[in-house]
Amino acid sequence: MITISSPRLRQAVTTFAPALAILAVQLLFFPLPLGMAFQGLILGLLGALVAVGMALIYRANRILNFAQSELGAVPTVLAVSLVTYAGINYFLAVTVGLLAAVLLGTVVELAVIRRFFNAPRLILTVATIGLSQLLVVASLFIPAIWDARPTTNQIHVPITFRFTIDPLVFSADHLVALIVAPLALVGVAVLLRGTAVGIAIRASAERADRAALLGVR
């Protein structure tokens, strides 16, 4: 029997071994063309962003945030509408969308989360379900600002770039996702491990009562 003495190495093996085992089974018994595997990697990175957000909220507040996706959908619909209906530059619209996301998150924190801070966690979880419905309605009404009906619109990064990994053709959209998603994940890791705010978040998530006694809000 193989024993691992290093706690960090043991944690890494425990974390990544199941995923690597599943990947090995897939490659061995269900092989895919390289292009499809590469597309799966990109989609997995985007899904990881949502998963990390939900995990962070759960560890810090002990709730499942069912409004997680909608908190990103509303600013996204706003940015897409600015490009589609208002004709605003893509990069300016993306900047406005990011600022709107920060503003929306702040409003939700102050108007909803803090009001239920001392309530049972189940009540706050149910509150996020209601919040998700409100945000869905808000995203549907955003196009009405320009007297337009909600439709499925798709915009692309205004950069001409294509590459082929058989059998799929990838564009600048995929390249941006491949670059931004890992940077965002690394940024969250650096925040949690290398900053005072991140360490306070981890301390509060690990033992909220003791963290509060030490002065961590």
Within this chain, do residues 128 and 200 fall inside the same structural domain, yes or no?
A: no
Residue 165: Cβ-neighbour burial (10 angstroms; 0-12, 13-18, 19+): middle
Within this chain, do residues 98 and 109 fall inside the same structural domain, yes or no?
A: yes
Residue 11 forms part of a structural domain:
no
**Residue 171 dihedral angles phi and psi, to the nearest 5°:** -120, -170
User: Around 139, how many Cα atoms within 13 Å sit in the side-chain half-sphere?
Assistant: 24
How confident is the prediction along the chain (217 residues), in pLDDT tens digits per residue?
Answer: 455 667 777 777 787 888 888 888 988 888 888 899 899 999 999 999 988 888 888 887 788 888 888 999 999 999 999 999 999 999 999 999 999 999 999 999 888 888 887 888 888 888 899 999 999 999 999 999 998 888 888 888 988 889 999 899 999 999 999 999 999 999 999 998 889 888 888 887 777 777 777 777 6
Which residue, 155, 171, 191, sits at the end of a domain?
Answer: 155
Report the distance separating Cα 65 and Cα 132, nearest Å: 9
Using the structure block, give the residue that is written with the tokens 């869905």. Answer: 136
Which residue, 155, 188, 209, sits at the end of a domain?
Answer: 155
Domain boundaries, position 97: 63-155
Q: What is the domain count for the chain?
A: 2
Residue 82 forms part of a structural domain:
yes
pTM over 0.85: no
Token pair belonging to 189: 């890791």
Start-to-end CA distance of the chain, whole Å, equals 45
Question: Which pairs count as long-range contacts for 131-134, CB under 8 Å and 24+ apart, including other chains?
Answer: 131/66, 131/67, 131/70, 132/66, 132/67, 132/69, 132/70
Q: How many residues does the chain have?
A: 217
